[in-house]
């Protein structure tokens, strides 16, 4: 299990290549990458604020839950903070399990919980001004399925 909260970019290819290696019981690896997108055509950058200390603890707790519930061989969460340009990766999740259903479900569980339970706040920097991204009710509702 690896958790990293960092401002620096991460190397998706290198992380993925080494993830879940050296184990004979891994039959499925799922990876997800979140990328800064521009819906309005006006976005200059996305700024992510976080709560140092709580962020690592909250992600650790969520990831441990996923490890236990889906009996994962390994799990990885990298989440960036700071100012990110459109097209830059924000975060990645990887899960390794015996079978694909567990790997997919655990990755979705991690994503749903990171959205609403990891202390990050997104601020959009647009050419026309700045705005905090509001939490979506659908993201909160998504937790109910777990």
132 binds another protein (CB under 8 A): yes
Q: How far apart are CA 74 and CA 36, in angstroms?
A: 26
116 binds another protein (CB under 8 A): yes
**Strand-strand pairing, 74-80 and 89-97:** antiparallel
Calculate the dihedral angle through the C-alpha atoms of 101, 2, 81, 33, rounding to the nearest 10 degrees.
-30
Q: Is the distance from CB of 66 to CB of 109 less than 8 angstroms?
A: yes
86 binds another protein (CB under 8 A): no
Q: Which is nearer to another protein, 10 or 51 (CB)?
A: 51
122 binds another protein (CB under 8 A): yes
Q: Which residues would be at the binding site for another protein (CB under 8 A)?
A: 34, 49, 51, 53-54, 57-58, 79, 90-91, 111, 114-123, 132-135, 140
């Amino acid at each position: 299990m690896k958790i990293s909260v960092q401002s620096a970019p991460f190397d998706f290819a290198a992380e993925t290549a080494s993830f879940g290696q050296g184990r004979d019981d891994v039959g499925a690896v799922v990876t997800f990458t979140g990328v800064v997108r521009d819906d309005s055509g006006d976005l200059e950058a996305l700024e992510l604020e976080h709560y140092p200390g709580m962020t690592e603890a909250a992600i650790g707790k969520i990831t441990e839950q996923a490890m236990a519930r889906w009996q994962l061989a390994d799990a990885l969460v990298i989440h960036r903070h700071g100012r990110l340009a459109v097209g830059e990766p924000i975060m990645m999740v990887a899960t390794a399990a015996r079978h694909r259903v567990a790997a997919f479900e655990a990755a979705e569980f991690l994503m749903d919980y990171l959205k609403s339970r990891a202390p990050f706040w997104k601020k959009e920097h647009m050419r026309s001004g700045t705005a905090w991204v509001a939490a979506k009710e659908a993201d909160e509702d998504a937790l109910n399925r777990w």
